[in-house]
């Protein structure tokens, strides 16, 4: 069975108990009193400057990045050696070692349940002995600026108490500062103070093509810096469990320890940060994934400047435009992001976006689907007005949207249509107009009206399609339905029907293929 592995590499656990630690337990009450006094003495300004990494965020210099966006020469004589490329790029790739210390019950206590139940001389049953456990991990990173900024994966440094980097070929070790990390894109930024660093040039990952040769450089299994070669197998891969995904797929050998390492093109430019593998065994099987450098660079610059990633917020629920939906929206091309819902008082509503709009272009760039639009909006700046081209009832409109800032209360959701062909017939459903009692029963907001599904015949086409009690039918074939009488006004003679539903707190469009025998 295949699995996607975010390559948090082999960990080792060691236990150490010192005399000083034992004494510290005896003196804990005194030390807690002293610590409480010190905590009360902290100034309010210092607390306000505290960031998620657990450190005070200094005023860091912006990274001096070397960017080479020139096109790759894809025609010419064959290459017999990549040694010059490796010699150029390899010194920029570092080994990353992490350690984290935690306390847990002693091994003896865990291994003998009888002693744990009855107690044992010298042991306190309600509070079993604690011993420090040191968890160590390894990964890779890429130096990207002379100031000492290093790109790596968030999962490599997550939870680490100490991070060290080793620079090849001299194997010089430096203690690294964690500038910040973004779990939504799996990007993290480290910083070291060192002279004579050799940062890697950054390429333009939008220009890389399927079939381009690439090199993966990293520290697999801790054996030391290793270079493997392959090609770009695909672009725009997603569904790896992150909120912001646009992976480059490659068959260059990637193994545990390569996490955070470099994916470079034939000119030695950084095109991606190696992140994940698809494997049956946990090792390389020719399917690896890298975060495009354009996405990683955007996240890095925000982490350095703000201590967190500042993302734009539009305020729409979106889904991909499935081929069978295109005719309902007068579309010849099956691309764009379908607006299923607009958040009240959001930038989208203020700008005039409506449910049923198809976003075709954002800031001059074509929108292929919901994932692309989410990435575009997330990497855009709040407070800036962007031009958005939408298709509404067959007509193109240009709207100016001033983005807000994405925050915890305003998580943009991409509602993707379910997989497979859905078929349904109204006789499979029991519908009732929403009232206050039904809204309360099914957790439907007071602002939502329509026909709620109160029963679905098990084993029916509707049941097999996934329709369940609590789903709210709001529109059929772009016509609002509020009462049962509204259904009699609709034409069901076609082979399919377009529904707008309220499902699990969000609106979605679905095309339902009808059973011809009804």
Residues noted as catalytic? 155, 186, 259
Cβ(471)–Cβ(501) below 8 Å: yes
Burial class (CB in 10 A: 0-12, 13-18, 19+), 420: exposed
Pair of tokens at residue 237: 């891969």
Distance CA 287, CA 23 (A): 52
Of all helices (H) and strands (E), which one includes residue 500? Answer: strand 496-503
Numbers of helices and strands, H then E, in the chain: 12, 28
Q: Which of 396, 184, 211 is nearest to 291 (CA)?
A: 184
Judge contact between 201 and 265, C-beta under 8 A. no
Q: What are phi and psi of 503, to 5 degrees?
A: -135, 120
HSE-up (13 A, CA, CB side) for residue 358: 26
Residues 181 and 117: beta-carbon distance below 8 Å: no
Beta strands in 198-335 (DSSP E): 213-218, 226-237, 247-250, 262-264, 270-279, 288-292, 312-313, 316-320
Return the structure tokens found at 415.
């509602």
Q: Is 256 helix (H, G, I), strand (E, B) or coil?
A: coil
Tell me the chain's radius of gyration from C-alpha atoms.
28
């Amino acid at each position: 069975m295949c699995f996607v592995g975010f390559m948090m590499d082999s960990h080792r656990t060691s236990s150490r108990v010192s005399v000083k630690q034992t004494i510290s337990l005896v003196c804990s009450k005194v030390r807690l009193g002293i610590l409480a006094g010190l905590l009360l003495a902290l100034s309010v300004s210092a607390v306000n400057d505290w960031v998620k990494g657990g450190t005070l965020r200094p005023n860091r210099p912006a990274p001096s990045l070397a960017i080479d966006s020139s096109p790759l020469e894809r025609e010419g004589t064959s290459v017999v050696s990549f040694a010059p490329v490796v010699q150029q790029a390899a010194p920029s790739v570092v080994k990353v070692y992490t350690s984290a210390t935690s306390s847990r019950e002693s091994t003896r206590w865990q291994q003998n349940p009888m002693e744990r139940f009855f107690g044992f001389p010298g042991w306190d049953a309600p509070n079993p002995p604690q011993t420090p456990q040191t968890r160590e991990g390894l990964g890779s990173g890429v130096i990207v600026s002379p100031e000492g900024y290093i790109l790596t994966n968030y999962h490599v440094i997550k939870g680490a108490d100490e991070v060290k980097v080793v620079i090849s070929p001299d194997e010089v070790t430096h203690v690294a500062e964690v500038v910040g990390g973004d779990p939504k894109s799996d990007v993290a930024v480290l910083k070291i103070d060192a002279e004579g660093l050799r940062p890697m040039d950054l390429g333009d990952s939008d220009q890389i093509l399927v079939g381009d040769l690439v090199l993966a450089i990293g520290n697999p299994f801790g054996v030391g810096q290793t270079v493997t070669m392959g090609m770009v197998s695909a672009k725009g891969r997603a569904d790896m469990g992150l909120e912001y995904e646009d992976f480059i797929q490659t068959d260059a050998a990637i193994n545990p320890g390569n996490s955070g390492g470099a994916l470079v093109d034939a000119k030695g430019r950084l095109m991606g940060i190696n992140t994940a593998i698809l494997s049956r065994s946990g090792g390389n099987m020719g399917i690896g994934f890298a975060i495009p450098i354009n996405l990683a660079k955007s996240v890095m610059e925000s982490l350095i400047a703000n201590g967190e990633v500042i993302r734009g917020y539009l305020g729409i629920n979106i889904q991909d435009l499935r081929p069978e939906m295109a005719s309902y929206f007068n579309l010849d091309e099956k691309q764009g992001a379908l607006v299923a819902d607009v958040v009240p008082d959001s930038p989208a509503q203020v700008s005039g976006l409506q449910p049923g709009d198809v976003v075709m272009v954002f800031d001059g760039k074509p929108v292929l689907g919901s994932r692309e639009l989410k990435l575009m909006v997330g990497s855009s700046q709040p407070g800036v007005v962007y031009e958005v081209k939408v298709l509404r009832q067959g007509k193109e409109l240009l709207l100016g949207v001033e983005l807000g800032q994405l925050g915890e209360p305003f998580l943009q959701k991409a509602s993707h249509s379910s997989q497979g062909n859905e078929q349904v017939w109204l006789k499979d459903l029991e519908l009732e107009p929403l009232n206050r009692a039904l809204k309360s029963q099914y957790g439907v907001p007071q602002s939502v009206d329509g026909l709620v599904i109160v029963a679905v015949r098990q084993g029916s086409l509707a049941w097999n399609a996934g329709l369940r009690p609590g789903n709210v039918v709001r529109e059929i074939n772009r016509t609002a339905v509020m009462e049962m009488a509204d259904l009699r006004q609709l034409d069901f003679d076609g082979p399919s029907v377009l529904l707008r539903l309220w499902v699990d707190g969000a609106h979605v469009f679905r095309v339902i293929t009808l059973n011809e025998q009804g």
